[in-house]
């Protein structure tokens, strides 16, 4: 390996959401935090160099997204995701993907309208729908032979005249599925029939650990292209979440104008300088680092799966096709959800995201972020093993 993923950094002095507020937020000082989705790895050195070089110029005034910024994203989408022909004016800036789906809700629905999500799913989606005064429609994933699948019949049944859009999570956080092309095709077919907008949150698109290739929803057909708003960012891939930078790719002019209208009404008109520079460097020079990251993450996954199989066999780790967030069924520990949370924090001293946060289907699950040096992962698993054996 050319790049280093083993160094353990002290993130405490950096106001890290994951590390710096453990006592305030959990009541336990020395928990190992494996909850929020950022990584305990240094970003690619090429990115740090670019940020440092820009920081050396001491004027940080209003900044407009550069040609290099747009070209970098367009080339990345083409090279790594097979999506050719994205036009520069089809790309809109958003300070984050969560902001992006909030803007989309405001752009494509009215208060009281319905918006669909597929739980268990990334919880800010539900909050965005409810906080904006829209009605939440759950189209839960089904578990078929230990594989999470979409329920197209249920979806079709639930879409009525007030339903304006679905927020898709692809790859899916927290169940770790990378949706196959034919699965997405069936989803698009229903959305086309019922004429609703698809907001496709593809923030985890580069983090593919298994054999299934990521398919961008918009590329499935001309109809999909015209009804899909694709939300992407380099933040998960290159560990840049603190730089507040993401893109909404919206080929359809009407949808794009509506989205832009909302962002303008929120006063969003400039890029974040360092977010822009980081994305330029990451997409131009970060590919070798990403390949090594994926190798390391696959190694972490295998390490965890082997450890659990051998030493804590009651726990069930679902196949992690994409993302670095493992979805683990803890039913065999024989607790209820409140007791499980307490057990993980106070006995095992581990801070995971509880499954119930992700909506229906999450009970008795824990979502475990494995994007950390293997030594930390090992320490965490040893804590878990010890706590389980003492039960």
Ligand X SMILES: Cc1ncc(COP(=O)(O)O)c(C=O)c1O
Total residues in contact with ligand X, by rule CB under 6 A = 13
The SS3 of residue 149 is: strand
Selected range binding ligand X among 67-75, 94-102, 185-193, 379-387, rule: CB under 6 A: 94-102
The verdict on 278 binding ligand X (CB under 6 A) reads no
The verdict on 276 binding ligand X (CB under 6 A) reads no
> Could you tell me if 153 and 118 are in contact, meaning their C-beta atoms sit under 8 angstroms apart?
no
Helix-strand-coil split of the chain, %, nearest 5:
45, 15, 40
Q: Is 232 left (phi over 0), alpha (psi -120 to 50) or beta?
A: beta
Other beta carbons within 10 Å of 181? 12
CA–CA dist 64, 99 (Å, integer) = 19
- The β-bridge relationship of strands 228-232 and 246-249 is antiparallel
Selected range binding ligand X among 79-87, 192-200, 233-241, 288-296, rule: CB under 6 A: 233-241
- For residues 125 and 388, which CB has a smaller minimum distance to ligand X in the complex? 125
The verdict on 246 binding ligand X (CB under 6 A) reads yes
Selected range binding ligand X among 92-100, 209-217, 269-277, 369-377, rule: CB under 6 A: 92-100
The verdict on 201 binding ligand X (CB under 6 A) reads yes
Binding residue for ligand X (CB under 6 A) from 122, 289, 307, 327? 122
- For residues 96 and 119, which CB has a smaller minimum distance to ligand X in the complex? 96
The verdict on 203 binding ligand X (CB under 6 A) reads yes
Interaction residues for ligand X, span 3-22 (CB under 6 A): none
Selected range binding ligand X among 91-99, 129-137, 138-146, 333-341, rule: CB under 6 A: 91-99
CA–CA dist 178, 213 (Å, integer) = 7
Binding residue for ligand X (CB under 6 A) from 98, 128, 220, 315? 98
Residue 171: cis peptide before it, omega within 30 degrees of 0: yes
CA–CA dist 20, 9 (Å, integer) = 13
Give contact residues for ligand X (rule: CB under 6 A).
37, 96-98, 122, 169, 173, 201, 203, 233, 235, 241, 246
């Amino acid at each position: 390996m050319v790049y280093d993923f083993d160094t353990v950094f002290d993130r405490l002095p950096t106001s890290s959401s994951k590390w710096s507020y453990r006592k305030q937020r959990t009541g336990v000082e020395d928990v190992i935090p494996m909850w929020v989705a950022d990584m305990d790895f240094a970003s690619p050195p090429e990115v740090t160099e670019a940020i440092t070089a820009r920081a050396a110029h001491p004027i940080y005034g209003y900044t407009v997204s550069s040609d290099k910024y747009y070209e970098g994203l367009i080339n990345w989408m083409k090279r790594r995701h097979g999506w050719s022909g994205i036009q520069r004016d089809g790309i809109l800036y958003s300070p984050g993907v969560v902001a992006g789906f909030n803007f989309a809700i405001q752009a494509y629905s009215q208060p009281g309208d319905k918006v669909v999500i597929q739980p268990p799913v990334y919880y800010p989606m539900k909050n965005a729908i409810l906080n904006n005064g829209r009605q939440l429609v759950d189209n839960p994933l089904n578990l078929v032979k230990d594989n999470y699948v979409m329920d197209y019949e249920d979806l079709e049944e639930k879409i009525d005249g007030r339903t304006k859009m679905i927020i898709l999570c692809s790859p899916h956080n927290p169940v770790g599925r990378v949706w196959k092309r034919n699965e997405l095709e069936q989803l698009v077919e229903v959305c086309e029939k019922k004429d609703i907008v698809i907001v496709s949150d593809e923030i985890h698109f580069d983090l593919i650990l298994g054999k299934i290739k990521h398919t961008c929803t918009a590329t499935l057909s001309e109809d999909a292209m015209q009804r899909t708003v694709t939300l992407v960012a380099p933040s998960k891939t290159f560990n840049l979440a603190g730089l507040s930078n993401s893109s909404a790719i919206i080929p359809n002019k009407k949808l794009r104008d509506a989205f832009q209208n909302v962002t303008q009404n929120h006063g969003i008109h400039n890029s974040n300088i360092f977010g822009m520079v980081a994305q330029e460097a990451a997409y131009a020079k970060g590919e070798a680092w990403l390949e090594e990251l994926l190798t390391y993450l696959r190694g972490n996954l295998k390490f965890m799966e082997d450890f659990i199989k051998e030493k804590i066999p009651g726990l069930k780790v679902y196949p992690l096709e994409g993302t670095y967030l493992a979805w683990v069924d803890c039913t065999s520990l024989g607790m209820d959800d409140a007791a499980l949370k307490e057990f993980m924090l106070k006995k095992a001293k581990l801070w995971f995201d509880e499954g119930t946060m992700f909506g229906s289907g999450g009970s008795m699950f824990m979502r475990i972020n494995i994007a950390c040096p293997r030594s930390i992962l090992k320490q965490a698993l040893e804590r878990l093993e010890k706590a389980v054996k003492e039960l």
